[in-house]
């Protein structure tokens, strides 16, 4: 379980990935072994995966610090941790 009910910081920079159009479930707890995507490790932690729609093939900067105010994508929050 994430300490103090805070998400586990996986990295202090985003994971830039080329994504195909589709629905993705972003890990918000930081416990998943398939980062940045959910593998169900959040169960019992109070966290839940975040649904993210990619509407056309593009690069996505996935948040890895789990503190982004914009959900699954990086907003630079890692720079102040």
pLDDT of residue 49: 97
Query: H/E element holding 72?
Result: none
Quote the CA–CA distance of 25 and 48 in Å, as a whole number. 9
> In this structure, are residues 28 and 7 in contact, taking their beta carbons and an 8 Å threshold?
yes
DSSP 8-class letter at 73: B
Q: How many helices and strands in the chain, by DSSP H and E? A: 0, 4
pLDDT, tens only, 15-58? 999 999 999 999 999 999 999 999 999 999 999 999 999 999 99
Return the bridge partners of 19, or none. Answer: 58
């Amino acid at each position: 379980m994430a300490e103090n009910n805070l998400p586990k910081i996986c990295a202090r920079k985003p994971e830039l990935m080329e994504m195909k159009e589709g629905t993705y479930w972003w890990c918000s707890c930081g416990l998943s072994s398939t980062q940045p995507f959910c593998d169900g490790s959040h169960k019992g932690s109070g966290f839940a995966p975040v649904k993210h729609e990619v509407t056309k093939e593009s690069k996505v900067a996935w948040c890895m610090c789990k503190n982004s105010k914009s959900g699954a994508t990086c907003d630079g929050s890692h720079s102040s941790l």
